[in-house]
A and B are shown apart, each in its own frame.
Chain A
Amino acid sequence: MTGATGLTGAYVPRSSPLHRLPAGAKLAGLAAACTALVLLGSPLALGGAAAGTAALYALARVGPAAAWAQVRPVRWFAAALFALQWLLVGLEGAAVVTLRVVLAVALAGLVTITTRTSEMMAALERLMAPARLAGLDPFRLSLLLSLTIRTVPVLTTLAGRVRDAQRARGVERSLRAFAVPLVVGALRHADALGEALSARGLDD
C-alpha cells in the first residue's frame, strides 16, 4: 500500500530521479520554483509552469491519485479564491493568483511524497544549524516538523471518532459537542506523546 494522503505527508516509495535527489536540493528547488511562480504574471506562463509541474510528477512516477491527493485539500480554498479574485480583479487575475497557489501546493506536495521525513529532518537540521547561536536546538526544530506531520492523521482519526460519537448520541449539529472532546483528546494525545518521547530518551 503506497498511496499518498496529501497533508499526512505520506512518502511514496519509488525509484525515480526525484526520489534520489538530496532533500536539500529539493527544498532549494522548491524555494526557487515558488519565487518563479510569483514572478510569472500571465496565465500562459503559469500554464507552462503547470505543464512543468505535471512533467515532474510524471518523472516521480507516483501516479495521478498521489498527485491529486496533494492538491485535493486546497480545492475549496482555490475555488473560493478564484471566485473572489474574479470579482475583484477579473478573470485573468483570478486565474493567475489561483494557479500560483495551486502550483505552489502541488510542488510542495511533490517534495513531500518523494522525500522521506528522516531525510527532510536531516536537511532541515543542517539548514537550521545557525539557530544554535540563538540557543535553539536544530534537532528539536526538525522534530517539531516531523511531529506536526505525524499528528495530522492522528487528529483526523480522533475527529472521526468524535463525529461518530456525536451521531450515536444524536447531537451531530452541536459545535460544542464536537470541539470539546476533540480538544480534550488532542491535549491527552500531546501529553501521551510527550511521555513517549521521554521514554525513548528524547528529553536528555
Chain B
Amino acid sequence: MIEFADVHVRLGERDVLRGVTATLAERRVGVVGANGSGKSTLARLINGLALPTSGTVTVLGMDTRRHAARIRRGVGFLFTDPDAQIVMPTVAEDVAFSLRRHRLPRAEVERRVAEVLARYGLSGHADHPAHHLSGGQKQLLALCSVMVLEPQVLVMDEPTTLLDLRHSRQVAELLREMPQQVVVVTHDLPLLAGFDRVLVLDEGRVVADGPPEESLARYRKLMA
C-alpha cells in the first residue's frame, strides 16, 4: 500500500508536484504524463529517493521521511538507464551484490542468483561482462538485481524507453507475471494494457485517475 497525502515537491523555483493525494493499493498501477509533469519525482517519492517538501508519503505503513532505508528493503526500483544501475563487472556478481547486506551463506547466494537469472533468461550470461550485454539484456540484468531481493513493491521509471520492441514485449510479459505490486511510470502506453489503474499527471497535479481506458483517453486529449 502506497499513500500520498497532499504531497508537494518544490525543486529550486519550480513546483514539481502540487498537492498529490492518492492511495495506491492495486497490483498494477501506471503513471503517465508529459515530460516534466512530475511523474518520475512521484516514482522516486515511493522509496524515499526524493522527499516531499510538504505532505507525507507512506509506503508499507512507514513514512518515507523517517524510514527511507527500511522502505528501500521492501521497494525495488528500476531506472530507465540500466548502465547506471549495474555496479559489478559481471552479470552474476551484480545480482549477488544485491544480496550482500543479507549475509547469506555462499551456496544460498549462488542458488538465488542462478534462480533469478534463469527466470529472466540470463543463465547463459552469468559470467559475462555486464557491459557486453545488449541494452535489453542490461535492463533484464537490472531487473534481476532488483527481483533477487524479492521486494514487496516494484517501481519502474520508464523501463522500456531504451528497449526495442521485442524486449519491451518481454518486459510487459514479465510485468504481468510478477506477484508484487508494481508501479510503472511510462510513455509506452501499450505497456499499461491490463493494468488496474492509471494516473495522469499534468504540471504536478493528478488530472485523471481510473481504469487505463478512461485515463489514457484523457491523456491523449491532453496531448492533442
Q: A residues bordering B, Cβ < 8 Å?
A: 1-2, 5, 8-11, 13, 116-118, 143, 146-147, 149-150, 153-154, 157, 189, 192-193, 195-201, 203-204
Q: B residues bordering A, Cβ < 8 Å?
A: 47, 49, 69, 72-73, 76-77, 79, 81, 83-90, 93, 96-98, 101, 127-132, 145-146
Contact (Cβ within 8 A) A199 B131: no
Cβ distance B138 to chain A, nearest Cβ, rounded Å: 11
Contact (Cβ within 8 A) A154 B85: no
Give the chain B neighbours of A189 by CB distance below 8 A.
83-84
Cβ distance A161 to chain B, nearest Cβ, rounded Å: 12
Give the chain B neighbours of A199 by CB distance below 8 A.
47, 49, 72, 76-77, 79, 85
> Binding site of A, secondary structure by majority: helix, strand, loop or mixed?
helix
Give the chain A neighbours of B89 by CB distance below 8 A.
8-11, 117, 146, 149-150
Cβ distance A199 to chain B, nearest Cβ, rounded Å: 4
Contacts A118-B93, A197-B87, A198-B72: A153 and B127 contacting too (C-beta < 8 A)? no
The 3 closest A-B pairs by CB, nearest first: A192-B84, A153-B131, A13-B127
Contact (Cβ within 8 A) B96 A10: no
Give the chain B neighbours of A196 by CB distance below 8 A.
77, 79, 84-85, 87
CB-nearest residue of chain A relative to B71?
Answer: A201
Contact (Cβ within 8 A) B98 A150: no
Query: A157 to B86, alpha carbons, bound, how many Å?
Result: 15
Give the chain A neighbours of B97 by CB distance below 8 A.
118, 200
Cβ distance A111 to chain B, nearest Cβ, rounded Å: 14
Query: A8 to B130, alpha carbons, bound, how many Å?
Result: 10
Contacts A1-B128, A2-B127: A200 and B49 contacting too (C-beta < 8 A)? no
Contacts A198-B49, A200-B98: A118 and B88 contacting too (C-beta < 8 A)? yes
Contact (Cβ within 8 A) B128 A201: no
Give the chain B neighbours of A9 by CB distance below 8 A.
89
Task: Give 9 new A-B contacts, CB below 8 A, not counting A10-B132, A116-B90, A117-B89.
Answer: A10-B89, A11-B90, A117-B93, A118-B93, A157-B83, A196-B77, A196-B79, A199-B47, A200-B97
